[in-house]
């Protein structure tokens, strides 16, 4: 798992922010419409593109609520790292299914690293695909039980979705349960990314199906 992938899991284990602790304010339609011109709340000195999609502020709360997450208790989880930046948001789904799960933890990170970099780091666990015609990766690491990760390519870099399933029964869930119904949420958030960051013509980044 890459350096930023490990950091994503760490953010799920300890909900913390490097710049602004506490719960984020609810996203509004006005905030979403101005995100592309808003100064990013975290930048770096790498010369990489600024991260112009902010998961805690640009994903409407009703999108996350419809997916079963408690948007009122989302938490900032930013990761300024000098040579690249991630703006993060952590959510909880406490919809219990008796005998199956206690809920999910979800971390969404928008970062200015490329899909090619992500693939190079995690080629051994990654499958290439498209979501709403956007290039993406699905990563399933059997050494990270009950964890599913999707990565979307964006104009500024990538958006990563890392979900951990909290089982109610002893032991781990079956691998086929790790990503169950997750792609629907990723597709819904992709439409929010598209509204703020229309894709440019894609060049060959070494990703192939």
Q: What is the mean pLDDT of the chain?
A: 79
What's the pLDDT tens digit per position in 50-83? Answer: 899 999 999 999 999 999 999 999 999 766 667 8
What is the number of other CB atoms lying within 10 angstroms of the CB of residue 184?
A: 11
Token pair listed for 26: 């609810």
Threshold 0.85, pTM exceeds: no
Please, is 55 exposed, middle or buried when counting C-beta atoms within 10 Å of its C-beta (0-12, 13-18, 19+)? buried
Structure tokens given for 13: 């284990």
Exposed e or buried b per residue across 2-21, where buried means at least 16 C-beta atoms within 10 angstroms of its C-beta: bebbebbbebbeebebeeee
Identify the segments of the chain with pLDDT beneath 70.
1-39, 78-81, 96-102, 169, 198-209
Q: What is the per-residue pLDDT for 94? A: 73
């Amino acid at each position: 798992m890459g350096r930023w992938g490990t950091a994503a899991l760490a953010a799920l284990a300890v909900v913390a922010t490097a710049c602004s602790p506490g719960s984020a304010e609810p996203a509004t339609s006005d905030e979403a419409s101005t995100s592309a011109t808003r100064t990013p709340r975290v930048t770096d000195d790498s010369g990489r593109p600024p991260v112009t999609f902010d998961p805690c502020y640009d994903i409407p709360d009703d999108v996350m609520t419809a997916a079963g997450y408690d948007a009122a208790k989302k938490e900032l989880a930013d990761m300024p790292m000098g040579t690249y930046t991630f703006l993060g948001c952590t959510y909880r789904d406490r919809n219990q299914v008796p005998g199956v799960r206690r809920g999910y933890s979800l971390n969404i990170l928008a970062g200015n690293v490329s899909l090619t970099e992500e693939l190079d780091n995690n080629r051994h666990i990654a499958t290439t695909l498209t979501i709403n015609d956007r290039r993406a990766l699905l990563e399933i690491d059997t050494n990270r039980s009950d964890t599913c990760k999707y990565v979307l390519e964006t104009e500024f870099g990538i958006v990563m979705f890392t979900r951990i399933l909290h089982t109610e029964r002893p032991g781990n869930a079956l691998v086929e349960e790790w990503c169950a119904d997750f792609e629907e949420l990723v597709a819904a958030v992709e439409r929010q990314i598209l509204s703020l960051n229309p894709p440019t013509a894609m060049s060959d980044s070494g990703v192939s199906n």
